[in-house]
Structure 1
Amino acid sequence: MSRDARPWILSLVVVALSAAWLLLDGRQAWPSSGHVQLWYDDPWGPEGSQHLLDWYSPSHVIHGLLFFGVLWLVARRLALGWRFLIAVVVECAWELTENSDAVIERYRNATVSKDYLGDSVLNSVMDVGCMAVGFWLARRLPVWASVLLALAFEAFTTWMIRDGLALNVLMLLWPVEAVRAWQAGVAG
């Protein structure tokens, strides 16, 4: 590993700036109840995406697995720290986009998440942390294990809450009424 600390420091700065942006944009810092939970079990509950970890945390681990793989393919000569910084920038850009008023409204209109309020800043920062966990797992695991882990997370969350990374992206970009109806069987 390179001794260059700049990408690691810049990664922290990017996360801090993203958190500040979300606060300035009016996102709440932590759950409205004021009580932070390690795990929030109800994906459609009033404090969904507000606590440290939730049913969507595995999708952010998958982001890290994917980012590591893609960056290994296209930028493997770049030092690990700089590849990690790129992954953090992409994940933070997603968090800022996901928590914009336009995307929150899209979630409400196109998915079963009718009461979605966006992530708390705490949850967004933890989502970036989950991505970092996925990135580091991908660095350590053989490719087949990373693929198996991503598929297992998708299968598990789809089975448990009828949602996951692939369904979330599908319903956000190209809503399918049959999928929404199937998901509502759990959410409804």
Structure 2
Amino acid sequence: MKRLLFMLMAVMSLTASAQNADRLYDEGKKLYDAKNYTEAFPKLKAAAEKGHKKAQYRLGRCYEKGRGTAENEKLAFQWYEKSAAQGYAKAQYELGDCYKDGDGVAKDRKKAVELFKKAAAQEYAEAEFALGKAYLKGKGITADQAQAKKWLKRAVSNEKGGSEILTELRKEAADGDEDAKAILKLLGK
């Protein structure tokens, strides 16, 4: 009987903690979206420390961009890593970007591609685009025009973010970016 009571109390405690993390995240996100980073940061940090994957991702953004705290690539990397380990696509993409550029960690293009693949498998447009570019340039993976075209096409066709990627590509091409021009040509855009 004592064991059953103990287990029941433990489940109730975990449920309350999760609800508290959700509440902290929601409050922090609202402040973050309003660009009130100084007040958002402690709420996001508290939720992240409780294991909230979206709060961990957003805390990584705070450290990466210096929003509500000092910029710190290593801490950004660490929080992205925690969120990515829970399967959060945005964090997997950002962690991959850290590996690609060597931000907060040693540069490792193969690890970057691995993470882009995980996030792209969840239909995250920016990861699909990054994966397509990796295939196109053969960075971190063997160059493959067919795979490049497949992933780039998926990225610009993605309902969540595809039109923004295409708009940015067109802007970069108009500004003379040769990579953007090549991608648009490959896609027939």
Q: Structures share a fold, TM > 0.5?
A: no
Structure of larger gyration radius: 2
* More relative contact order, 1 or 2 (CA 8 Å, 6+ apart): 1
- TM-score w.r.t. the length of structure 1 is 0.28
- TM-score w.r.t. the length of structure 2 is 0.28
